[in-house]
Structure 1
Amino acid sequence: MPRQSERLYIGAGGVPAGTLGRGEENRRDTVFSYNETVGEENAVSLTMPVRLESYNWEYGIHPLFEMHIPEGHLKDELVRRFSKLVRGFDDFSLLGIVGPHQFGRSACSLTEARCNELLARVQDGMTRAMTELSEYRSTHPEFEVVGEKMTAAWSAGLAKSIAVQ
């Protein structure tokens, strides 16, 4: 299995069913492995029964997981927004973003290590943006009122992010 940041936890019926990760030899491939304790009733699909051997899929995500990725304009917009922030952004990355917000029997979530890594990036970016905003406010008095409100809103958002960690 690949490193922690390239894994997604897959649940079925509220039970942690297994792990979906990138292939070791080719990052475009994916591998799904069931947890050892998962029972047959918690299989992620009838076409993927619980077994010890991993399910490998070349060049992308297995269709079972791919069907949870948005299509059309929504997908285009998400790709546009995240592709600059996440190196090597692809369908696997997109599944990690939208997976926790799925309805139905299957669920997908990021590992704690990946969440902490992304949160640290957000904190760093917000801290730099607040510093730049403060410098801009000091040299442009006409921006003071709006800048003060932005700083307060950003500070509150950053405090919430840190509290979650």
Structure 2
Amino acid sequence: MKQVTFKGKPVTLVGNTVQVGDQAPDFKVLANDLTEVTLNDSKGHVRLISVVPSIDTGVCAEQTRRFNEEAAQLPGVKVLTISVDLPFAQARWCGAAGIDNVQMLSDHRDLSFGNAYGVHIKELRLLSRSIFVIDSSDRVTYVEYVDEVTNHPNYEAAIEAAKRAK
């Protein structure tokens, strides 16, 4: 299991570590209108999944804004942002921030995504900052588990991976 810290202190990640080449695990999260969303709902598309602990924090907000901007330059790529924030809070934040190219999804109910992708922080019941690119045949083509949860991911590497995925 990958070693990750939160504000310099080690945290425990629950679930299975996902690696490049793996078949992408399925998950069940909630859209802002409370409908269930699974990996299969975007089958046939490249997916860039941006995982943030809470949309109401600075780095998470910047990460979401950055991928929202980049999504316009990624034709055929579905950009999903997943956190454990309530769907209502996500919708409010997106409306205030003008986020419209990223689909915000909530893992608050079951931590289905967090456990399937090994990003559920046991001590905090939050998701660890990470990025996954999944190709149109549901293979994982890029993975970044950010070592320190309060740091930014490697945006350029993730975007390039999404462009290369088919």
Under a length normalisation based on structure 1, what TM-score does the superposition of the two structures give? 0.25
Larger helix share, 1 or 2:
1
Give 1 or 2 for the bigger CA radius of gyration.
Answer: 1
More RCO (CA 8 Å, sep 6+): 2
TM-score with structure 2 setting the length:
0.25
